[in-house]
Copies of this chain bind each other. A is one copy, B any other.
């Protein structure tokens, strides 16, 4: 059994980790840690575990003291909060999957520019592995530190990577218009995320400034071996979970919808979690699963391709992908503990 520790277990990504790992047939949760709820029984915060889980949250200091008991540490903290513990974990030979943003960007300058703080553990950035499994599988297998991708970058990169890899689109023409459920804003008490403020309304946010932009660009640049700059616009939709990414790009070749779909099917033919579907993706079909649904259409009138992808932001966009990474890092079957699907409604 893989011994697991979880930091930030009461946030939305963290609670999803607990949910998945509790049922993972080859892992065992050694501790769960929470800054806000230290010393509180987990099932008092998340009543779905009532009578089923006895664990009490510990604090960061206690977590540090228990590093020797675990094989892997999952971190679901805000960026900038885990430089120390990551260092300590790695030094003790504990593998790390960080669901935060600290190890995703290769360049500490770009990190500083978009996140507004100095990176305090630059020396590890080179070896940190970007954990978008379908696009980076081999590297992950040997990684000690995996930077788990952001939710938007996961949907965006899976959507556009095949096009760039094959050189079918103009890299300068990419626009990603994404829609997210409110869990994406985290479990923080602020007025703008109240039910009453979000319900029955939709808005854009972070236009031309969202922190996932350089992460998407870095990943997609690796596909075509040139630096990409693109537009990414996130929106907040009145639903709990889900990301829908609608991606636009100019085709530089004449190709039909069917031909392109075949290329996607071929590209993802061995992937369990990526499905090229016939209908248009809806977040409900992947909600509660580690799946990514993709469909696309070529518009002959404008010679653009529109690719639409749907994921559950907390699973394939966070905790599910993190466990998928763990499976690879420990040489398990990649789908272990991740084969659950959406309840549909």
Q: Report how far A201 CA is from B283 CA in the complex, Å.
A: 5
Question: A48, B195: Cβ atoms under 8 Å?
Answer: no
Q: Which residues of B contact A289 (CB under 8 A)?
A: 48
Residue of A172, A299, A314 ringed by the most chain B CB atoms within 10 A? A299
Within 8 A of B (CB), among A240-260: 240-242, 244, 246, 248
List, in ascending order, chain B residues with CB within 8 A of A288's CB.
288, 343
**At the interface, yes or no: A153 with Cβ under 8 Å from chain B?**
no
In the bound assembly, the distance between CA atoms of A238 and B182 in angstroms comes to 13
Known: A46-B344, A275-B51, A343-B16. A199 touches B202 (CB 8 A): no
B residues near A196, Cβ cutoff 8 Å: 12, 181-183, 185, 187, 193, 240, 345
CB distance from A252 to the nearest CB of B (A): 14
Query: Within 8 Å of chain B (Cβ to Cβ): is A166?
Result: no
Contact of A200 among B52, B241, B275, B306 (CB under 8 A): B241
A157-183 vs B, Cβ < 8 Å mask (1 yes, 0 no): 000000000000000100101010111
Q: Determine which of B202, B238, B297 lies in contact with A208 in the assembled complex, contact meaning CB atoms within 8 Å.
A: B297
How long is the Cα–Cα vector from A321 to B196 in the complex, in angstroms?
Answer: 21
From A181, A242, A282, name the one whose CB has the most chain B CB atoms within 10 angstroms. Answer: A282
Chain B residues with CB below 8 A from A201, complex form: 239, 242, 282-284, 287
Contacting pair B194 A306 (CB below 8 A)? no
Contacting B at CB under 8 A, from A208-228, are 208
Q: Is A267 an interface residue (CB 8 A)?
A: no
Query: Is A207 an interface position by the 8 A CB rule?
Result: yes
User: A187-B191, A280-B207, A282-B203 are contacts. A302–B231 as well, Cβ < 8 Å?
Assistant: yes
With CB as the reference atom, state the residue of chain B lying closest to A47: B285
Partner of A204, one of B191, B193, B308: B308
Residue A49 interfacial (CB < 8 Å)? yes
Name the CB-closest residue of B to A43.
Answer: B277
Number of copies: 4
CB distance from A290 to the nearest CB of B (A): 12
CB distance from A113 to the nearest CB of B (A): 11
Q: CB distance B179 to A202 under 8 Å?
A: yes
Residues of B within 8 A of A244 (CB): 202-204, 235
A345 vs B312: C-alpha distance when bound (angstroms):
12
User: Which residue in B12, B278, B286 is a CB contact (below 8 Å) of A345?
Assistant: B12
A304 at interface, CB cutoff 8 A = yes
Contacts known (A182-B194, A231-B248, A231-B306); A48 close to B202, Cβ less than 8 A: no
Q: Which 6 residue pairs spanning A and B have beta carbons closest together?
A: A201-B284, A208-B299, A203-B282, A177-B177, A48-B342, A195-B198
**Apart from A46-B344, A240-B345, what 6 extra A-B contacts exist at CB < 8 Å?**
A12-B345, A19-B341, A172-B302, A177-B233, A182-B196, A231-B299
